[in-house]
Structure 1
């Protein structure tokens, strides 16, 4: 009996254990199901979040791509614009360099010309030729060829640089080119007042030597005018003379030698041209008067012929009027004849007998 009790107790214990195990297994299943449901829910939430994240990532990627494209376009446009501007600046730079090169070449040529001019001016004979060439250019550009001669020998044996042919009065005027360059340079290079006064006297004396030389050689009574022109081929020398030495200018006036520069000589030659034109007009005045008289004679003859033609015209008009009157009468008679009825009953009174 004890064994049976033990067996029953053991069986009960086993049953209890089995029941407990079953209960634990059910709980485990329930917990597992709950955990699975939670995991499923979490997975769904995670999938939704992942999808949302993917959408946001796509939007972000699209925005980034658009911004990158806009940035690339702006960079491309900016680079193109900068490249174009750089090209324009380079072209402008090349043009300026070309201008600078041309200017440099002109400066070089001018320097060579200045050196050549200095060489000319340093030689007294060449300097005189320079003044004569400038005088030649001015005269030939303003006056007609018949109004001047160069290197003319006067009756006293002196050779003039230029002789302007003017009628009496005043007569032919001599122009002689002079260039007192050494004394002018000494005047410009004076450093103090004492030296300035000294070289100024030297400059004035040099000018007066030329003035007296021209007055003695080129004013010939009965052949030339009572005055002559001294041509200074430098505006600077002319201006310095008038500014610093007005007494020398006054002395030249008293010597009847008029000092002129290129500008004042041009004005003088224009005046001479006007005088020559007036002289030519006066010379042609007699010819013009003769031609006018001949023209008046022709006009008188023409007037007579017009009067004669007018008489013929009036006579012809009278004849034409008479012819017109006769024609009208003929037409009137013809119309009357046309109105006459020709037949057996036609009255014959007043008609001539038939032949």
Structure 2
């Protein structure tokens, strides 16, 4: 036993190696190894502590991140629920709006259909009315066309009449006589009457108040006028116009010399032109003829001017007749005034009768009022018997 401990001691003191003049024994090497082991253990503990702290920090961080994620998740869930509610609300609103829109569209379509149907009905009625009016107008046009055809035949006959000198004179004479006969009484004119000098004017109008009569001549140089219209070149037109002027002047001079008789006829005579167009052309292209006729106291008149003159003469004759009957009118007015006086007297008498009747009615109403009051008082009396007191 003692030898073993000495052997162990010797082993522990055995030199292993020498470093920088210092010997390293077994025990020293063991001590160094133990120190290194302790140092490594401390280093390992420090590393483990640091790794534990790191894991705790990471765990805390993970916990914070988890909390934040849970909070974000909660927020997302809340937002999702809000979005779901909003989507439901929007869906309801959209459904309501869609139904409203569909209803409005249906109403508008119905209204449009009604308006279209009404418009079509109105258009159809208007079309039918227009067609009926068109048929009526076509009938009128057909009638007018037949009248035009008839008028064309009459114009042809009129041309044949105007181609004959005697018939042409009869046409102008007939138109003048128709205008005079339509406007005056039968005793206010004469046709083809002989004057004191033996001349025979076409018409003689009797003026009022024993004034001289008015002479009207219906002869007009239509042959010369037709030659103007038939002229084919300027030379022929000039010759025709010269011949027309000469013929007109000869006719105007004859009227002035034969028909203007002092004390028997007016100092002015009428020369009747049976056409308004000829009359207008005379004043437009032959002003010298009109002036010469005026100086010769001959007035050129158209059918319208003759009609106006006849109306003026008719008014004068009516005025003269009224003046002649003035005393009769005055007598009738006096009688009318007497009748009005008698009517006023009788109205006053009737008024007095009405006044007396009103007074009588008022007295009757007073009497009936008194009778009514007395009857009311009688009705208010008490006629019931009072009970007797026993003896």
- Could you state the TM-score of these two structures normalised by the residue count of structure 1? 0.54
Distance 2:378 2:262 in 1: 105
Would the aligned equivalents of 2:161 and 2:167 in 1 still touch at CA under 8 Å?
Answer: no
**1:161 maps onto 2:202 in alignment:** yes
Partner residue of 1:317?
A: 358
- Choose the corresponding residue for 1:133, options 174, 195, 219: 174
Alignment of 1:243-282 (within 5 A): 243-279=284-320
Partner residue of 1:233?
A: 274
Secondary structure of 2:192's partner? Answer: strand
- Choose the corresponding residue for 1:117, options 140, 146, 161: 161
* Cα distance per residue 1:208-240 (max 9 Å; x no partner): 222222223333333332211111224454344
- Choose the corresponding residue for 1:175, options 208, 216, 219: 216
Secondary structure of 2:267's partner? Answer: coil
**Shift, 1:116, TM fit:** 2.1
**Shift, 1:158, TM fit:** 3.0
Secondary structure of 1:167's partner? Answer: coil
Would the aligned equivalents of 2:209 and 2:320 in 1 still touch at CA under 8 Å?
Answer: no
Partner residue of 2:102?
A: none
Distance 2:190 2:346 in 1: 54
Partner residue of 1:296?
A: 337
Give the stretch that moved more between structures: 168-177 or 277-286: 277-286
**Shift, 1:178, TM fit:** 1.1
Partner residue of 2:264?
A: 223
Alignment of 1:38-187 (within 5 A): 109=153, 112-113=156-157, 116-120=160-164, 123=165, 125-168=166-209, 171-187=212-228
Partner residue of 2:248?
A: 207
Gap change, CA 1:340 and 1:155, over 3 Å in 2: farther
* Cα distance per residue 1:48-91 (max 9 Å; x no partner): xxxxxxxxxxxxxxxxxxxxxxxxxxxxxxxxxxxxxxxxxxxx
Distance 1:155 1:228 in 2: 16
Secondary structure of 2:225's partner? Answer: helix
Distance 1:195 1:152 in 2: 39
Gap change, CA 1:118 and 1:131, over 3 Å in 2: closer
Aligned-residue Cα RMSD (Å) equals 4.1
Gap change, CA 1:228 and 1:334, over 3 Å in 2: same
Would the aligned equivalents of 1:231 and 1:260 in 2 still touch at CA under 8 Å?
Answer: yes
Would the aligned equivalents of 1:178 and 1:233 in 2 still touch at CA under 8 Å?
Answer: no
**Shift, 1:193, TM fit:** 6.4
Q: Where does structure 1 lack aligned partners over 5 or more consecutive residues?
A: 1-97, 346-355
**Shift, 1:261, TM fit:** 2.6
**Shift, 1:117, TM fit:** 2.4
* Cα distance per residue 1:145-200 (max 9 Å; x no partner): 45433223334443232223332496532211112133334445567767665554
**Shift, 1:298, TM fit:** 1.8
Would the aligned equivalents of 1:132 and 1:177 in 2 still touch at CA under 8 Å?
Answer: yes
Distance 2:230 2:293 in 1: 25
Gap change, CA 1:248 and 1:194, over 3 Å in 2: same
Secondary structure of 1:163's partner? Answer: strand
* Cα distance per residue 1:228-259 (max 9 Å; x no partner): 11112244543444334322221211222111
Would the aligned equivalents of 1:170 and 1:226 in 2 still touch at CA under 8 Å?
Answer: no
Distance 2:330 2:349 in 1: 29
* Cα distance per residue 1:281-305 (max 9 Å; x no partner): 5555554444333323222222222
Secondary structure of 1:243's partner? Answer: helix
Give the stretch that moved more between structures: 196-205 or 249-258: 196-205
Mark the structure with the bigger radius of gyration.
2
Give the stretch that moved more between structures: 164-173 or 103-112: 103-112
Which structure is richer in relative contact order (CA contacts within 8 A, separation 6 or more)? Answer: 1
